[in-house]
């Protein structure tokens, strides 16, 4: 049992609290993916929890940037801001990507995979509800799955595996 807790990141008080926040965020996003009733609310609170986790606990600017983009998209949806939303999301994603490049955060194979996953999800968000949006988001989610697996960040691995499958299913419906 101790090995499972260690694998999931529950190793000390700080990691337990941060990982509980992250798993709660993951659950909120998963519910948002499958529930139209809670979608707009939970696509703000779930990514916000993961943004805090990625930035303050993991110190991972790629995952934090991804969650900043997703949280912003969620806020725009929640506030019913439709027309400028794609421009805002793409501009923010490009700014995050440029900041990652400028600060040397994208060096090596895994960071490039994670950064392209971030861009794929951001671009996919701007193409919804079209079939291509789900396809682009599935591709971005798969890249994040690979990135999270390489870094052994299980909450992002599980979340994006679910996200990948959900986008494939939505794409198939269209």
Its domain, for residue 94, covers 2-173
Query: 36 near 9, Cβ under 8 Å?
Result: no
In the chain, the number of structural domains is 1
pTM, rounded to two decimals = 0.89
Mind listing the pLDDT tens digit for each residue in 117-172? 999 999 998 888 888 989 999 999 999 999 999 999 989 999 999 989 989 998 88
* Total residues belonging to the chain: 174
Distances (CA, A) of 62 to 35, 50, 54, 55: 27, 12, 8, 9
Mind listing the pLDDT tens digit for each residue in 16-35? 899 899 999 999 998 988 88
């Amino acid at each position: 049992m101790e090995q499972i807790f260690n694998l999931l990141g529950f190793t000390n008080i700080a990691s337990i609290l941060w990982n509980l926040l992250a798993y709660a965020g993951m659950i909120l996003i998963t519910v948002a993916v499958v529930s139209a009733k809670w979608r707009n609310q939970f696509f703000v609170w779930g990514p916000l929890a993961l943004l805090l986790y990625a930035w303050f606990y993991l110190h991972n600017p790629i995952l934090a940037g991804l969650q900043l983009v997703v949280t912003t998209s969620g806020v725009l949806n929640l506030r019913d801001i439709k027309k400028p939303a794609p421009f805002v999301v793409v501009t923010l994603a490009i700014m995050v990507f440029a900041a990652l490049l400028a600060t040397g955060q994208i060096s090596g194979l895994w960071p490039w995979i994670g950064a392209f996953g971030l861009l794929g999800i951001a671009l996919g968000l701007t193409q919804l509800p079209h079939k291509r949006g789900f396809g682009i988001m599935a591709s971005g989610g798969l890249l994040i799955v690979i990135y999270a697996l390489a870094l052994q960040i299980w909450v992002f691995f599980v979340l994006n595996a679910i996200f990948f499958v959900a986008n494939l299913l939505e794409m198939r419906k269209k």
